Structure 1
Amino acid sequence: MSNVNSHPHGESAHGGLKKTLGTWQLWGIAVGLVISGEYFGWSYGWAKAGTLGFLVTSAFVAAMYTTFIFSFTELTTSIPHAGGPFAYAKRAFGPVGGYIAGMATLVEFVFAPPAISLAIGAYLHIQFPGLSPTTAAVGAYLIFMSLNIVGVQIAAAFELTITLLAVFELLVFMGVVAPGFHWSNFTQGGWAGADNFSMGTFGGILGAVPFAIWFFLAIEGVAMAAEEAKNPRRSIPIAYITGILTLVVLAMGVMLFAGGVGDWKLLADINDPLPQAMKLIVGENSGWMHMLIWLGLFGLVASFHGIILGYSRQIYALGREGYLPAWLAKLHPRFRTPHRAILAGGVVGIIAIFSDQYVQFAGQALTANIVTMSVFGAIVMYIISILSLFKLRKTEPGLARPFRAPLYPFFPGFSLVAAIVCLVTMIYYNREVALLFAAFMALGYVYFLMTRGRRKDDAAELLEEAVRPE
C-alpha cells in the first residue's frame, strides 16, 4: 500500500491520472475548449436578434462569464477533482446535488463535440467539395479520440499548439477584412432586421442567448483537468483569468469585423461565417481565403480535441463515483487515460452526426439544436456551481481557498442571477429542446436511484483496484 502516497511516474496519489500539466498548457485548454465558438455557431444569434441586438446579448453574457469564472476559480483551486462541478456540488449538497451537476456537465460536454465536428466537415467541404461533411466529421472523432487515449501530455501539447495558431488566425482574419469594414454595414437592420429598437427586438435579444453563450461555452472544462495539473492552486487561476480575457476580446472583435464587411444577413444560419465574410473582401480564389479555411480548422480542432478531454474526464469521474457504470472509469493499462470514457462519448457524438442528415427538430437545423442542448447543460451546471460556492462558504469556512472570488458576494451573485435569467429565457424560446434536456436529466435520475445501493460498492472496488500493487 506504500504506493498510495507517491508514484514514480508522476501519477496521482491513488495511482490514477498523471499530474503533468503546467500553466501554459492549462491556458491552452481553457482557450482551446472555447475558441471554436469564435469560428461558428454565434452567427445563428444574428438571425434571432440582428447584429446590434446580438451585441447587447453578447455583452450581457460576457459579463456573466467573467464574473462566473472569477467565482468558479475559487471552487476549482479548493477542490481540484477531475469531476469538476460534480465534485463541488456533491460536497455542498450531497449525492443528489452531485448528480445534477454531473449530468448537466455531461450533457454540455457530450453534445458540444458533434456540433463542432459538423463545422469541421463544413470547412473541409469548402476546400474539398467531393468530401462529405459527415465523413469528415466522423474522421475527426476517430483521430482525436485516438490522440486523447495516447496520453494527456501529448494531447495538451497539441492543444496548446493549435490554440495559438487559432488565436493567430482570428487576428489575421480581423486584419484582412478591416479595410472593408463599415459601421453602416454592421448597423443596417441591426435590431432583428429593423433599423430601430422595438419590443419585438427585445424578444430577439433574449432568444439569442444560447448563441452568445456559445462564444464562451466549456471554458470551465479546465476544472476537469485539475487532477492532472502539477500545481493547480497556482496555475488554474492564471489559466482561467487570462483565458476569459482572451476570449472576450476575440469574440467581440470577430463579431464586429465579420458584420461590418457587407450584408451580415448572408452570414446568419451558416456553419462557416468567417470564410464567407472574408470572401466578400478578398474573393473566392484568394490565398487569404484558403489560409483562413485551413487555419480556421485549427480553431475548430482545438475545441473539439479539448472537449473530448473534458467529457472523458467527466464520464471517468462519474463512473469512479458510481454515478455511471463503473467500467467507464477503467484506465488504459499503458497510457493511464480513461479510454473507455473517451470511446463512450464518441459513440454518442457519431450517432448525433449521422442524425444531422435526417432530423429536423423544433423548426431548426440539428446543429442549432445541438448547440442549444449543450448550452442547457452548461447553464444548469453554472447555477448549481455558484450555489455550491455560497453553500461551502457557509458550511466550510475553514476550507483552504488559495484563490477567493473577488468582490464576494457581488461577483458570484451577479453570475447566479444572470445564469437564471439565461435559463428562463432559453426555456421560453426553446421549449422542445428544454423538454428533451429535462427527459435526459430524468432518465439519468432513474439510473441514479436504481444504482444507489451499489454505488458505494463500485467506488470501493475502484479504490481497491487503484491502490493494488502492480
Structure 2
Amino acid sequence: MGDSKNLELKKTLTPFHLWVIGVGIVISGNFFGWNFGLAESGYVGMLIATAIMGIMYWFMCLGISELSTALPHAGGPYSFARRAMGPLAGYLTGIGVILEYFIAAPVIAIGIGAYISFLFPTVSTIAAAAFMYIFFMVVHIIGIKEYARLEAILVFIALGLLVLMYFVGLPQIRVENLFGSGDEALIPSGFKGVWAALPYAMWLFLAIEMLPMLSEETRDPKKDMPKGIISGIVTLMILSVLTTTVAIGLGGIELMSTADDPLPAAIGAAFGNTYWLAQVLASIGLVGLIASFSGVILAYSRQIFALSRAGYLPGVLSKLHETRRTPYLAIILPGILGLILVVLFNPNDLILISTFGALVSYISMNLSVLILRKKEPNLPRAYKTPLYPFTPIVSLVLAVISIFASVFANLTFFFVSIGVFVVAIIYYYAWARHRINKDAPEERMDAFEH
C-alpha cells in the first residue's frame, strides 16, 4: 500500500498543548458529576474515593507515559493492547475507548444544553446541544493546532474560575459542613458509601488517558508525551481535592448531593444566589463543559480513525481531509449518532456505559505495561514507569474493583455494556479479522519486530 503516508496525521503539538488538552478534556468533572455519590459517602468518604481513583489514574498515567514513548501511534490504547496481547485484545480495547468517549459526548452535551437553556430559557436543551456538536465538528475538521489554541483559552477561563472560587470560598468554609456536628457518622454508609462514590470520583479524572492518541500529532512524542501526561494528572489531582473541599464546605452534603450545578449552588448557599461569583460560575461554568466536550470529540475521532486505518472498522472512517489532514468522517458520523443519543437517553444512565468502556481500556492498558516489559524487554522506552511493577499492578487492581462498583450502580446498564462487547466480538470474527491492513502503523510495527 504505497499511500500509507496519506494516512498519517500532521505533527504540531508541544507539551504545553498536551497539558491544555489533557486538563481541558477532564475539567468539566470539577463543574458537575462528582457530587452525585455524596449522599452515601459524605465528605470523608468522597475524599477517600477521590484518593483511590487519584492513585489509579496517577499510576496508570505513569504506565501509559512509558507505552506512548515506545509506541507513538494514534491508536493509543488499542495499539498498546494490540502489541501486548494480539489483534482481538487490541480491537476490544479500542471498542472500550470509543464507548467511553462516544458516550461521554452526549452526556456533556446534555449538561451544556441544560446550562444554556437555564441562561436563555427560549433555547431548548437539544437545540443547544446540536449547535455545540456542529460547531466543534467544524473546529476539529479545520485542524488540531487551531483546536488546541481555542482549547487553551477555554481551559484558562475554566481554571481561573476554579481558582477564584477557592480564594473566595476557602475562608468561608464551615467545618460542620465537612465533618458534621459530631453526632452523625463521618461516612454515612460506611465502606459501602465509599464504594458507591467511586464511579463519581472517576469523573474528576476520566479522559486524561486519551493523550497517547495524540502521539502521531506531537512534534517529539518520546520527550513530550510523558511531560504532557504527568503535568496534566498532577494538575487534576490538586483540583480534585480543592474543588470537593470548597464546594462541600460552603454548600453542605445535602445540597451538594443533588445539585445539577454544584459550584454555583455552593457559592449561592454561602453568599446568596445573587452574589456575583454565583452568577459568574453559573454562566461561565459552561466553559469547563465546553472544553471537555470538544476534547471528547477529538478522542473518539482519533480512536475510530486508528481502528479504521488498520481495517478493524470500515475504511471510509479513516479518510483524511486533503488539505487539513484531519479524519473528517470519524468526526462527523459518530457526532450524528451522538446527537440521536442526546434526544433518546438520560445522562445518568449513559455515564455508566461510558465509565464501563473506560475501565475495560484501563485494565487492558495496565496489563499491556506488564506484558510488554516481559515480552519485549528491549523495546526502546524513552521513559520508564517508576516503581515498576508495583505501579501498573496497583492501578490494574483498582480498575477491576471499580468495574464491580459500576456493576452494582445499575445492573441493566451493566448488561447493556456487556452486550455492546458481545456484538463487537461477533463483528470481529465475521468481518474485521479478514480485513486487517498490515500497512497501518500499529500493525506494521508489530510485523517488523516479530
The TM-score normalised by the length of structure 1 is 0.89
2:234 is matched with which residue? 245
Q: Which shifted more, 284-293 or 28-37?
A: 284-293
2:288 is equivalent to residue 299 of structure 1: yes
Cα shift at 1:43 = 0.8
Task: Measure the CA separation in 1 of the matches of 2:433 and 2:232.
Answer: 41
For residues 62-461 of structure 1, what are the structure 2 equivalents within 5 Å?
62-188=54-180, 194-197=184-187, 200-356=189-345, 366-452=346-432, 454-456=434-436
Given candidates 40, 47, 51, the residue that maps to 1:55 is 47
- Deviation per CA, 1:146-202: give whole Å up to 9, x if none: 1111111101111122112211111111222233211111223899xx53447x421
Q: 1:259 to 1:69 in 2, by over 3 A?
A: same
Whether contact under 8 Å (1:275, 1:292) holds in the other structure is yes
Report the Cα offset of residue 67 of structure 1: 1.0
Q: Is the 8 A contact 1:185 1:264 kept in 2?
A: yes
Deviation at 1:286, TM superposition (A): 3.0
- Structure 1 residues 91 and 412, CA, compared in 2 at 3 Å: closer, same or farther? same
Distance in 2 (alpha carbons) for counterparts of 1:137 and 1:43: 23
Q: Tell me the distance in 2 between the aligned counterparts of 1:52 and 1:125.
A: 34
**Percent of residue pairs identical:** 38
- Residue type of the partner of 2:199? P
Q: Match of 1:247, as an amino acid?
A: L
CA 1:116–1:401 in 2, change beyond 3 Å: closer, same or farther? same
The equivalent position to 1:44 in structure 2, one of 8, 20, 36, is 36
Q: 1:185-221 CA distances to partner (integer Å, 9 max, x unpaired)?
A: 1223899xx53447x4211211221111111000011
Q: Secondary structure at the match of 2:385?
A: coil
Distance 1:141 1:443 in 2: 27
Greater mean alpha carbon deviation, residues 201-210 or residues 145-154: 201-210
Q: Secondary structure at the match of 2:382?
A: coil
How many residue pairs were aligned? 441
Moved more, 244-253 or 135-144: 135-144
Which residue is equivalent to 1:359? none
Per-residue CA distance 1:17-48 (angstroms, 9 max, x = gap): 10011111011111111111111110112134
Q: CA–CA distance in 1 between the matches of 2:273 and 2:300?
A: 37
Taking the aligned partners of 1:197 and 1:210, their CA distance within structure 2 comes to: 17
Aligned partner letter, 1:372 = L
CA distance in structure 2 between the partners assigned to 1:23 and 1:331 by the alignment = 25
Which region of structure 1 is more displaced relative to structure 2, 277-286 or 415-424?
A: 277-286
Q: Is the 8 A contact 1:50 1:190 kept in 2?
A: no
Quick check: 1:120–1:137 contact (8 Å CA) kept in 2?
yes
**Secondary structure at the counterpart of residue 325 of structure 2:** coil
In 2, the alpha carbon distance for the partners of 1:427 and 1:182 equals 35
Deviations 1:38-61 (A, max 9, x none): 111101121342222121111111
CA gap 1:272/1:147 in 2 versus in 1, 3 angstroms: same
Is this contact kept in 2: 1:50–1:189, CA < 8 A? no
Displacement of 1:349 in angstroms is 1.6
Moved more, 401-410 or 109-118: 109-118
Question: Relative to 1, partners in 2 of residues 1:339 and 1:289: Cα closer, same or farther, differing over 3 Å?
Answer: same
Task: Give the 3 Å change call, closer, same or farther, for CA 239–458 of structure 1 in structure 2.
Answer: closer
Provide Cα deviations, 1:46-85, integer angstroms capped at 9, x if missing partner: 1342222121111111111111111111111111111111
SS in 2 for 1:456: coil
The whole-number CA distance in structure 2 between the counterparts of 1:267 and 1:189 is: 17
Query: How far 1:3 moved relative to its partner?
Result: 8.8
In the TM superposition, residue 283 of structure 1 has moved relative to its aligned partner by 2.5
Query: Do 2:92 and 2:424's aligned partners in 1 also have CA atoms closer than 8 Å?
Result: no
Q: 1:278 to 1:197 in 2, by over 3 A?
A: closer
1:307–1:197: structure 2 CA closer, same or farther, 3 Å change rule? closer
Displacement of 1:459: 6.2
Deviation at 1:290, TM superposition (A): 2.7
Letter in 1 for 2:403: L
Counterparts of 1:458 and 1:341, CA distance in 2: 21
- Give the partner amino acid of 1:439: G
Please give the secondary structure, in 2, of the residue aligned with 1:80.
coil
Give the Å deviation of 1:104.
0.5
What runs of 5+ residues in structure 2 fail to find an aligned partner?
444-450
Residues in 2 aligned to 1:16 and 1:208: alpha-carbon distance in whole angstroms: 41
Rate the CA distance shift 1:332–1:2 in 2: closer, same or farther, 3 A: closer
Q: Which moved more, 1:247-256 or 1:422-431?
A: 422-431
Stretch of structure 1 that moved more, 26-35 or 158-167? 158-167
Q: Structure 1 unaligned runs (5+)?
A: 5-12, 357-365, 464-470
User: CA, structure 1 residues 257+190, in 2 after alignment: closer, same or farther (shift >3 Å)?
Assistant: farther
CA distance in 1, matches of 2:163, 2:422: 43
Q: Which amino acid aligns with 1:114?
A: P
**1: CA distance between counterparts of 2:227 and 2:173?**
34
Q: Deviations over 1:286-345 (max 9, x none)?
A: 332232233312211111111111110011111111111111111112321111111122
Aligned residue for 2:206, secondary structure, equals coil
